[in-house]
Structure 1
Amino acid sequence: MKLKNILFGSLLSILALSSCDKGFVDLNVDPTKTTEAYPEQFMANALISSVSANMNRNRGFNNELMQVTVSIGDGEFKVFRYDFRRSWSDYLWSNHFLNLSNYKDMYSKAQNELTFNTSYQGISMILQAWTNSILTDTYGDIPYTQATLGRDSLLFEPKFDAQKDIYTNLLMKLDSANNLLKANTAIDPLQDPVYAGSVANWRKFGNSLFLRLLMRVAHKAEVKDYAEAKIKEILETNKSNYPIIANNEESAILRWTGEGVYVSPFMSTRVQDFRATAIAEYFIDFLRDTNDPRLNIPDYGKAGVNRWGIAPVSGNFVGVPSGYAQGSEDYSKMSYFYSADQIVGGYSMQHEPMTGMIMNFAEVEFIKAEAMLKGYITGDPSVPFYSGASNSITLWVPTWTGNIEEHLAASDKAWDAAATFDEKMEMIHQQKYFALFLVDLQQWFEYRRTGHPILPKGAGLKNNGEMPARMQYPVYVQSSNPVSYREAVARQGADEINTKMWWQKP
């Protein structure tokens, strides 16, 4: 009898608890707030992550290959000698595919009935195209149509798409983004670290990126007619429908304010490590010998500190020859980028706000110059050439009021209308090289596309002195996605640094 009473009492307790719980969840939902994520909530953090990843690979990889810097040392695996470990491949791949998930979520939420916004849809498409272009230009064939589907579709071994198909879709995506952004639907300026809510400027960046990618593949027979026609449409026959970046103020830059989450990733590098990397001879000699204002105007902050925060050696700017042979000489006391602790009120790239460079006006001008030179559009290439050179300087030194034609003529770098086609390409791309300073891996991509600017070859270069054509796929991809990996290698070629991808082939 006692056991029955206990069981009966327990049953009553359970029923009572069930009754108390009825409606509990409903009662604890705030009716004034939504549980739906907003598209803008994916934007700022993903952009910070993307730009940070680009900056870190720009500093340690692009700059070493492209003779901006030289990491002093005689050990193995020095990128400036075209010699690097396969593990270098992991970082950019992992970060950018993670960020792509956020950009796709941003697009999905911007399609939702409750949070519908065509501007966020367009911006998401631009950011997806930007990120995927960096990935495919780094590795070649990559997961694209099936990428980032693991969470929702449980597809953990996505196929790799051919680069030709990826580019075809990227170009379509950017054209669609332009149409979506025409409506100019308002976005939250506080969640936009690049343009502070200017949808018009996002549209201009998207179309400028469109030009960058069109130029990269315009020589390929499969897309040549389309690419040339679209370049002409954007720059000449239908300009009003395709606004592009038209001045330095419209450049796409994530500026590091030093407040909250907007702290440059370079600040996480130890100051002694940051300044341990030397400036390459090719980079510093050009700036010094042409009396470039970014190097030779010292009236910024701390006396004697130039705009790019480069340290002189005994009053002179002296660089290290890139690719120097192991054991040849001690180059540890050459010019370098100042670290943050060395500068009080002056400039150090370690805390420089503009290192978050995505795309600038000068690059667009040099695209125009090349398009005119190749006959894609009409016009005198010298006009955008000089504009690009001038704006590349004034982006960093707004107070410079010199005459760009006289400035370049003084150092024998003026435009020469009588020069050969290849000589004119060198003129354009030598100036473009400096405009692309800090812009992710674009110097490397452009060099691989054009062979310009002509870089000196050091005696200590590995890889038979051949500029690497790509990064290998991350090692873990071979084990986590073996079938798709093997298919990609069979189609594209050996997973090695000299295997040329689709747009690099004739």
Structure 2
Amino acid sequence: MIDKINKLLNMKLQTKYILASAVILTTLASCKKDLIKTNTDPNSVSVDAFNPNNILTATQLYYTGSTDNAIEVEETEIQGAGCMIQHWASTSPYYFGDKYLGAPTSGGWGSFFDHTYTSTIKNAVDLYTITAGKPQYKNLHQIARIIKAMAFERITDVYGDVPYFQAGQAYNKGIYFPKYDKQKDIYADLLKEVEQATDSLDANADKPTGDLFYSGADDQIGAWKRFGNTLLLRMAMRLTKVEPETAKAYVTRVAGKTMQSNSDNAIVAHGTNDPLTINRIYRGIGEDGDIQLSGQISKTFIDFLKDNSDPRLPVLSYVYPPDFSAGGDPTGGSADPADQNGLPNGYDAGNTPHGILSYLGPPAYLGNINLYSRPSPIIFNATAPTLVLTYAESEFLLADAAKRWGIGNAEEHYNNGVHAAITQLAAFGDAGVISDDDATTYLEAHPYDDANGLEMINTQFWACTFFNEYEAWANYRRTGYPALKPVTYTGSQSPGAIPRRMYYSSVDKQVNTANYNAAVAGMTGGDKITSRMYWDAQ
């Protein structure tokens, strides 16, 4: 079996297309159980015996939520964070974030925890480990440091204190029960790692061939430097509540070094409909074309787009034919902005005590859940790309910093961010193209007002991170914007308040009990969704 893996991993990655990684992932997945049974030491496989660029491909793909990680996209990101941040809504009880429901043992809350440690983080740590000290992989090693940090930032933003320094080292060091580290310590190390890695990238060294973000860029290493500095900006700005001077210092250092246009956007192009590599959102909540499994777009989000005559509305949302089903043809539905209706958050179906019929009734309730807007076929399909980190996000963060501390021009960064957020939808193909003129018209109708600067900047950040629900939720908790009205629902685990974190994995609670208990004991409020993590202090 090991010979087969070595032979496969030794194959040179010929193209950027994800189909190549599907073969690798399929073979690795089929061998995983056998590897564990035979207690094979992966360190016995020399870095010279295979091409670690292939692990980069797998790590980037896992990060998007493709492959088996799609279940965490469905359960934790969309049904959880996406509903909390009111991009999504549902009358289904499975969408626990819509009403802040579910006990700590509920699988959805901990699904991301369970899946990311065994996929994205494991691969990132492996890539970091096997490329360390190898001059021929100088840049690949630094990129591994950056991606590893990005993956850990996401998981600590969701749960707070998590395994970090010992995580992902079961195979390399035999650490099967990693301790949970304090988020303050995690963030300090993340900032150090990303800054050092970005500064160490060398235009004269290797050009990673397994890179799904930038292998086709004219200046691949330059693009990674801008990516690293943008990620560093995001991490630093997360600390505005608790370490504003630290945040300010890092922002000052990366000024002028972050992404410069939409051409710098980090995008994974899901170029096949292979079950292992298709778009993460589609795989998680609408596989086989069954859009009716996906929930609806929240009334909060649809109303924001409609009330502001936002040109993104017909690209993002669609009312499908009422009889649309798995594999059906969406023709006959409507992208007309006038036809879009968002589903209110916080309701059950029918005439239950919180039933949508009981509370809304006609004409407020349309009478059929299928008449509410869902993600359009433009952005919701098997081959739609994933936008990992974007120039628009970068500009909004710079605008926020400029408003707080006078680093740069807030209005200029706001304008750049809005224009980029509208035109970046061209990544979804011709149907997603919104003209520069339309973006300019929108900006003219919504000019920057410094008196309401932070609210305007961060509300636009929320608008541009639809489908990037973890990031939208994190930025909301950091800034308090947009001004969302929390759901009030009987039995809610966070009555009248949008949750501040998610419950830990019930699986880790059982198998890593001592470290879990130690983490909970050191957490103000305990393992509850109302407990605040370090950077979200009141």
Which residue is 1:263 aligned to?
A: 278
* Residues 1:279 and 2:297 are matched in the alignment: yes
Rounded to whole Å, the distance in 2 between the matches of 1:314 and 1:296 is 6
8 Å contact kept, 1:338–1:348: yes
8 Å contact kept, 1:276–1:336: no
Q: CA offsets, 1:264-304, max 9 Å, x none?
A: 23444243354651221111112122222222479x9x9xx
8 Å contact kept, 2:230–2:259: yes
Give the one of 139, 143, 158 matched to 2:178.
Answer: 158
Q: CA deviation at 1:250?
A: 0.6
8 Å contact kept, 1:87–1:474: yes
Q: CA deviation at 1:91?
A: 2.1
Larger Rg: 1
Rounded to whole Å, the distance in 1 between the matches of 2:263 and 2:337 is 36
Q: CA offsets, 1:239-285, max 9 Å, x none?
A: 4xxx2111101111112112665422344424335465122111111
8 Å contact kept, 2:279–2:381: yes
- Secondary structure, counterpart of 1:479 in structure 2: helix
Q: CA deviation at 1:63?
A: 1.7
* Residues 1:416 and 2:437 are matched in the alignment: no
Which residue is 2:437 aligned to?
A: 402
* Residues 1:361 and 2:383 are matched in the alignment: no
Which residue is 2:342 aligned to?
A: 319
Rounded to whole Å, the distance in 1 between the matches of 2:333 and 2:537 is 38
Give the one of 464, 470, 475 matched to 2:495.
Answer: 464
Where do 1:68-467 residues align within 5 Å?
A: 68-73=87-92, 75=93, 78-85=96-103, 86-98=106-118, 99-111=120-132, 113=134, 116-189=136-209, 191-196=210-215, 198-220=220-242, 223-235=243-255, 239=256, 243-258=257-272, 262-268=277-283, 269-274=287-292, 277-296=295-314, 311=334, 316-324=339-347, 326-329=354-357, 332-337=369-374, 347-351=378-382, 353-354=384-385, 356-375=386-405, 377-379=407-409, 381-397=410-426, 398-402=433-437, 404=439, 406-410=441-445, 413-417=446-450, 419=451, 423-460=452-489, 462=492, 463-467=494-498
Q: CA deviation at 1:425?
A: 1.4
Rounded to whole Å, the distance in 2 between the matches of 1:70 and 1:357 is 22
Q: CA deviation at 1:409?
A: 4.7
8 Å contact kept, 1:43–1:192: yes
Structure 2, unaligned stretches of length 5 or more? Answer: 12-45, 321-331, 349-353, 358-366, 427-432
8 Å contact kept, 2:240–2:478: no
- Secondary structure, counterpart of 1:258 in structure 2: coil
Paired positions, count: 444
Give the one of 477, 481, 496 matched to 2:508.
Answer: 477
Q: 1:415 to 1:116 in 2, by over 3 A?
A: same
Rounded to whole Å, the distance in 1 between the matches of 2:57 and 2:469 is 18
- Secondary structure, counterpart of 2:233 in structure 1: helix
Rounded to whole Å, the distance in 2 between the matches of 1:432 and 1:310 is 29
* Residues 1:499 and 2:517 are matched in the alignment: no
Rounded to whole Å, the distance in 2 between the matches of 1:161 and 1:457 is 31
Structure 2 letter corresponding to 1:320: L
Structure 2 letter corresponding to 1:71: S
- Secondary structure, counterpart of 1:402 in structure 2: helix
TM-score of the superposed pair, with normalisation by structure 2: 0.76
Which residue is 2:61 aligned to?
A: 48
Runs (4+) of structure 1 exceeding 6 A deviation are none
Rounded to whole Å, the distance in 1 between the matches of 2:203 and 2:443 is 42
Rounded to whole Å, the distance in 2 between the matches of 1:194 and 1:367 is 21
More moved, 60-69 vs 125-134: 60-69
Rounded to whole Å, the distance in 1 between the matches of 2:94 and 2:207 is 49
More moved, 252-261 vs 470-479: 252-261
Q: CA offsets, 1:375-407, max 9 Å, x none?
A: 15143x111111111110011144512265642
More moved, 278-287 vs 461-470: 461-470
Structure 2 letter corresponding to 1:131: A
- Secondary structure, counterpart of 2:522 in structure 1: helix
